[in-house]
Structure 1
Amino acid sequence: MATDAGTEVAAGDGGWAYRPQLDGLRALAVVAVAWSHWERPYQYGLPFGAGVHLFYVLSGFLITGILLRLRELDDKRTALKAFYIHRALRILPAFYAALLLAWLVDSATADEILKWHATFLTNVFIFSRAEWPGALSHFWSLAVEEQFYLVWPWLIVFAPRHLLAALVAFAILAAPLWRLSLASAGYSESLQGVLTLGSLDSLGVGALLAVTRCRPNLLLCALAPRLALWIAELLGAALPPWLVVTKPLFQAAVFGWLVLRASDGFTGLAGRLLASRPVVYLGKISYGIYLIHGLSGDILTAIFIAFGVTWPPSEPWRFVVICGSTIGFAALSWHVMERPINDLKRRYPYRAAAARDGSPRLSPAGIGP
């Protein structure tokens, strides 16, 4: 998952504007991811697992947008220091709280696996062992994000401006080529994207949108081939590896269209849905939902055992209990821990400075991750 990267985008006056529809997209993404991790009969052949790539496109777009503004500041290294402090405050407390909770309810049974999770190397563990470590398997995408943040900010902030678009395009193209090399070596499709290089096209498409602000309708050209590939898979067609590895790229382009449109503001029913209070709220607590959704069943089982309660015998009611508890745990995490800690980032503002053209710019304090 792409962690919460803030939903403010650059405004015309040099400040920052909140875009609630981007939180709405986060809600859709986290619901899709959680759904994909439930039993297969409930998925009906739909590619809900692609929700993680919507998170990636969102993160690439928002984070790169922030980094592009940091380029305008005089003291870039101090600004980057603030950037990393913001990321740590947003990501680490809830992440390690979830990891501790998993250990307490025995969702992560081996200390060795916990070490991989704690150091954001879950994706490396999965790739090297060709196995998925249970209820915390979805932490692989958090590992991808953190590894991405180790390098990407330095490239965007310090690379020559005329090379930015080419740099991002190279990152986008490197991902399917990497996946193709792994496919040729016999790696399964599920393993081809778990390392950071294999997910760079989704992150990179978001970044490219921030750098170029291309026309949204151009991105919809990718919808037809993505739908064709999905239908072919539903029909059981055997696709060649060179075609399979393009699926994440096509869907990233479609998600890019969604992100750009939501950033500008959908109108009509779609806009009202994405900006509705319940959907926006789910987007705000989406990081907690992402962290906890694989653990909710184990947590509830431990609670039920402690109080002598049994699970509802009906499968639909179990589903309702799991959904409700996941949202409840995430809301508790947001209000008690995440939001108060996230507010601390105001103590570490990006330094205000004049742009190179001499025009005043507002310090992006309090925005971003």
Structure 2
Amino acid sequence: MTAQQTTTRPVLNHLRQLDGIRFVAVGLVLFDHWMAGRVELPLGALGVTIFFVLSGFLITRILLSSKDKLSRQPNGGLGKYLSVFYIRRTLRIFPVYYLTLIVLFLINEPPVRRTFAWLALYATNLYMAYHTSWMGTVDHLWSLAVEEQVYLFFPLLLFFVPRRWVPLTAGLMIVGAVAMRYYLYANRYPWFIGYVTMPACLDSFGLGAIMAYWWLYQRDRFTAVFSSTIWIWVSIALLVVVAVSTKLLPAIPDVTGLPGHHNVMSDVWERLVSSLIGFFLIGHAVIGFGGLMKWLLENPVSQYMGRISYGLYLYHNFVFNVYHTQPTHFTVRAWRRITDVLPFLNSSYVFSFCFYLALTIVIATLSWYLIEKPINNLKDRYTV
């Protein structure tokens, strides 16, 4: 199948099961942040990594398709290519993000007041790396900062790199990210620097880029690689091996005294293996799962939660976080008032988990219908 044949297909059609993948990814993050200490698996990190691979796939698909279309237009060029991409990304991401920051600043959320400039510049991860510290209830915004930093250079890279070199470029991103994490580990830098810095995350985006390239230009290869679910199970088994090995191997003390059991398995290889899970999971979802997995990804609840996943991720840490939420926080006070009336709800953590989840869904739903969806609809005006 030739590249010309594949680029004439409706390659940017909505891929339904990817909304279900978003639901799975955000669910892993919420479960990890609200169940910390109860389940010792890197589920939150896996959820974030799946988002990174998905972003790599989607933005590469958009950018390469846009480049192909503009090459056939007399007024096509770098200016239009960049303007369409950045306008559409801005409409999707910025409004609700900055509105959230402003509201949190006005209600005096401590880390937002203290680090507002860093947050506004999408430099949360740089603050963490520079100050070798976490940031409380805004910790999770590091991943949004990573994505925005990728958006700064990746469109230019894909525009100037010849099409045939895209897989090689993506391969270099993968190797470079793993090498950077190993360098940081070998030189005993704080482990989270290799976790939150953008270059150390590029193996996830690189795998997503390879997937998009195959989908656009080598459909037969895409189908051959992703038709079977065996590689999903193999990559999950590898993650289990990494997680077990992390616990069995001696921990390397962090120079800053940060808690956690870390060594070469967790600091270097965990993200690559998690990226492979995302790679094979997303690739098979593009083709389409059948059976129980099809139901999981396509049922109305999963589809809806996937659509509002950005809001779920953005707001959940402000609703509750095991590590950072203070006893005086409004959601904790609200839960105490409910349990004063219905004390049996304190008999199990499941009840409080469901309360925080329901509250997060309500906030994300209001955000989707009142802010995100109306603004998101404007994107249709900006196409190539």
Q: Distance in 2 between matches of 1:173 and 1:252?
A: 13
Q: Per-residue deviation at 1:211? A: 1.3
Q: Distance in 2 between matches of 1:205 and 1:342?
A: 27
Give the corresponding residue for 1:210.
212
Further displaced range: 61-70 or 209-218: 209-218
- Identity over the aligned pairs, expressed in percent? 32
RMSD in angstroms over aligned alpha carbons? 2.6
Q: Distance in 2 between matches of 1:184 and 1:304?
A: 41
Q: Distance in 2 between matches of 1:162 and 1:316?
A: 51
Q: Distance in 1 between matches of 2:131 and 2:101?
A: 21
Q: Distance in 2 between matches of 1:237 and 1:309?
A: 41
Q: How does 1:207-286 map to 2 (within 5 A)?
A: 207-213=209-215, 214=222, 215-216=225-226, 217=228, 219-220=231-232, 222-235=235-248, 241=264, 244-286=267-309
Give the corresponding residue for 2:130.
128
Q: Per-residue deviation at 1:104? A: 3.3
Q: How does 1:106-255 map to 2 (within 5 A)?
A: 106-109=108-111, 111-213=113-215, 214=222, 215-216=225-226, 217=228, 219-220=231-232, 222-235=235-248, 241=264, 244-255=267-278
Q: Distance in 2 between matches of 1:132 and 1:311?
A: 31
Q: Distance in 2 between matches of 1:143 and 1:316?
A: 32
Give the corresponding residue for 2:49.
53
Give the corresponding residue for 2:219.
none
Q: Per-residue deviation at 1:187? A: 2.0
Unaligned runs of 5+ in 2: 1-5, 216-221, 252-261, 341-345
Q: Which has the higher helix share?
A: 2
2:29/2:43 contact within 8 Å kept: no
| Residue 383 (structure 2) pairs with residue 349 (structure 1) | yes
Give the corresponding residue for 1:29.
25
Task: Report how many residues are paired.
Answer: 340
Q: Distance in 2 between matches of 1:35 and 1:104?
A: 29
Give the corresponding residue for 1:360.
none
TM-score, scaled relative to structure 2: 0.81
TM-score, scaled relative to structure 1: 0.84
Q: Distance in 2 between matches of 1:229 and 1:82?
A: 41
Any runs of at least 4 consecutive aligned residues in structure 1 with deviations exceeding 6 A, and if so which? none
| Residue 357 (structure 2) pairs with residue 334 (structure 1) | no
Q: Per-residue deviation at 1:157? A: 2.2
Q: Deviations over 1:156-200 (max 9, x none)?
A: 122111211111100111001001111122123332121110100
Unaligned runs of 5+ in 1: 1-9, 351-369
Q: Distance in 1 between matches of 2:14 and 2:148?
A: 24
Q: Distance in 1 between matches of 2:164 and 2:319?
A: 48
Q: Distance in 1 between matches of 2:338 and 2:172?
A: 51
1:25/1:274 contact within 8 Å kept: yes
Give the corresponding residue for 2:337.
310
| Residue 94 (structure 2) pairs with residue 67 (structure 1) | no
Q: Distance in 2 between matches of 1:105 and 1:43?
A: 33
2:111/2:136 contact within 8 Å kept: no
Give the corresponding residue for 2:254.
none
Q: Distance in 1 between matches of 2:131 and 2:358?
A: 34
